[in-house]
Structure 1
Amino acid sequence: MIRLEPALVVAVAALGGVVATSAQAADLPTLPPAPVPVHVESFGGWYLRGDIGMSNQKSDEPENPELERRTPADAVEFLHSDFAASPFVGVGVGYRFNSWLRADVTGEYRGRSQYRGLDRVRQTGAAAFNQANEFYFDKTEWVGLVNGYLDLGTWHGVTPFVGAGAGFAHVTIDNFRDVVTLRSGHSGVAYADADSRTNFAWALYAGLGYEVSPNLSLELGYRYLNMGDGGTGETYQLDGVSGGEDKWEIGNIHSHDLKVGMRWNLQAPAPVHAGPISRSF
């Protein structure tokens, strides 16, 4: 009788198990490759915006060409010329083209701002300044702009941007008063009718945006806004007598604005979830 060594028996049994396992594995289907993660861009589509802010406005000093022609002076010196700060509010609709370019159309109302100025005049032939005038008027605007912006990259959710815009400004001047406060032998008050003008307007922007969520971004920005010229209607003396063609001109109306805005994305990217992995045995 042939006797098999125990080691040989163990080896044969182990080899048989490996062969059987390999045969079973060959019958199983091959697993599909893992799905590639889908990268969802955080840009694209339409958005709405709203802004509020405060203005720091400037202009040239008031001028009256007809009055200067009739009563020329040897010297006119402005001692004070300033607007009170005023609020503004605006809305708009825009489109984000890609991660660095967007554009919008905005409209805003700029609240009433009072101007106060003071000058002194040396009349022709006078040895010294012999007249002082205080000027007051109120100013409001409606502004519409088409704007474009460049987003300069995002760090920790913060995106610096620059931009420019062009459009129109409808400027209204009212409650104009010219008060003669010092003049030998004469004092008085003149006032003028309200008037409105529509001018070309342009703007420059710089600021920071912060993405709160895929649907909402906040902005803190600076804007330089040039709104063209304004002016009054016909000028009257205190007794109601018209000054004829006397109309005051206020040139180069511009503003340094600080504003806070919100942008609501109307087409926020939907999250993409990988489907479950399944197989049949």
Structure 2
Amino acid sequence: MKRLLTSASLMLAMAGAASAADLYTPEPQPAPYEPAPVVETSGWYIRGDASYDVMNLRGAKFYQGGSSRRMVDFHESDIDNTGNIGVGVGYQVNDHFRVDTTFDYLFSADFRGSTTGGGSDFGACTDTCKSRDVSAMTAYSLMANAYVDIGHYGMLTPYVGAGLGGTYVKWDDLKNTACSATNPELCDDTVSHKGKGSWRMTYGLMLGTAIDINCNLKADVGYRYRRVDDGDMFGYKSNGGPGKDKGFDIHEARAGVRYAFGGCAEQAYLPPADMPQQEQPVFK
């Protein structure tokens, strides 16, 4: 009997080991990765900007009366730096391209110039004379602009752009005083030339970075270069004038905000991937 019980126990142990070897549980497979689709943003926006403007007057000239009767350049001409504020409305066409129209107002910038000469060209001066010429100008611009948003890097979106439009430049009256170069106290009476205004062709080049504040509001910092064509500056008076400026190169350090309408663009919803079911053991 003892021998029979021992044999039966050995047979049961061997059968259990065989069953454990045949028991197979497959490992769960991870769900395939599906990237979320990119949602492009589009819609209307408004903007406001302010800038510090470094002004470069490319020169000025005037018709000189007296015996010369010719156009001559100011020997010295300079204009002060100033500031600018602007507003605009635009449309974000897609995630990388947008357009807008902007209106900018350039604050008053003082002009100082001088010329040298003598004789009948300079009135009371009998020797070499030097004039003192002072005025000021303001301007406003209307521009159509297009931008390429290069890419999105976290909160930052760098861009480049270009614009084309017109600038109305308004000059104040130019006050001209001619004095003796050897005796600065000997001067003619100051002559006031009526200031002129004119529209000029203008183009601009921009680069900068937009900074996300929230999904509707962006800060905008950057640089803009504007080139303004030449135009009328002042009129004829007392055998002198009229005069013209040769245009401006304007370098602007800008900061502003853009507000987009239409709510926030959200990433498309993807339902959570189903967890793989634990398969039942397979007996072989």
TM-score grouping bracket, smaller chain normalisation: 0.7 to 0.9
Which amino acid in 1 is paired with 2:255? V
Indicate the residue corresponding to 1:256 in structure 2. Answer: 251
Measure the CA separation in 1 of the matches of 2:33 and 2:187.
Answer: 91
Whether the aligned pair in 1 keeps the contact of 2:39 and 2:266 (CA below 8 Å) is: no
Indicate the residue corresponding to 2:219 in structure 1. Answer: 218
Indicate the residue corresponding to 1:204 in structure 2. Answer: 205
Indicate the residue corresponding to 2:189 in structure 1. Answer: 188
2:105 pairs with 1:104: no
Measure the CA separation in 2 of the matches of 1:57 and 1:43.
Answer: 37
Equivalent position SS for 2:213: strand
Indicate the residue corresponding to 2:282 in structure 1. Answer: none
Pair 176,52 (structure 1): closer, same or farther in 2 beyond 3 Å: same
Q: Specify which of 41, 44, 49 is matched with residue 43 of structure 1.
A: 41
Equivalent position SS for 2:78: strand
> How far does residue 85 in structure 1 lie from its aligned partner after superposition?
1.6
Pair 193,51 (structure 1): closer, same or farther in 2 beyond 3 Å: same
RMSD value, Cα: 4.1
Which amino acid in 1 is paired with 2:136? D
> How far does residue 10 in structure 1 lie from its aligned partner after superposition?
10
Which amino acid in 2 is paired with 1:138? A
Alignment gaps of 5+ in structure 2: 17-30, 275-284
Pair 11,69 (structure 1): closer, same or farther in 2 beyond 3 Å: farther
> How far does residue 101 in structure 1 lie from its aligned partner after superposition?
2.0
Measure the CA separation in 1 of the matches of 2:77 and 2:233.
Answer: 17
Pair 8,103 (structure 1): closer, same or farther in 2 beyond 3 Å: farther
Whether the aligned pair in 1 keeps the contact of 2:148 and 2:159 (CA below 8 Å) is: yes
> How far does residue 231 in structure 1 lie from its aligned partner after superposition?
2.4
Alignment gaps of 5+ in structure 1: 14-32, 238-242
> How far does residue 113 in structure 1 lie from its aligned partner after superposition?
0.9
Measure the CA separation in 1 of the matches of 2:257 and 2:203.
Answer: 22
Measure the CA separation in 2 of the matches of 1:11 and 1:258.
Answer: 87
Indicate the residue corresponding to 1:117 in structure 2. Answer: 113
Query: Which aligned pairs between 1:55-94 and structure 2 lie closer than 5 A?
Result: 55-65=53-63, 68=64, 70-72=66-68, 80-94=76-90
Aligned pairs, number? 266
Indicate the residue corresponding to 1:25 in structure 2. Answer: none
Pair 105,51 (structure 1): closer, same or farther in 2 beyond 3 Å: same
> How far does residue 130 in structure 1 lie from its aligned partner after superposition?
0.5
Whether the aligned pair in 2 keeps the contact of 1:104 and 1:147 (CA below 8 Å) is: yes
- Please, what TM-score do these two structures have when normalized by structure 1? 0.74
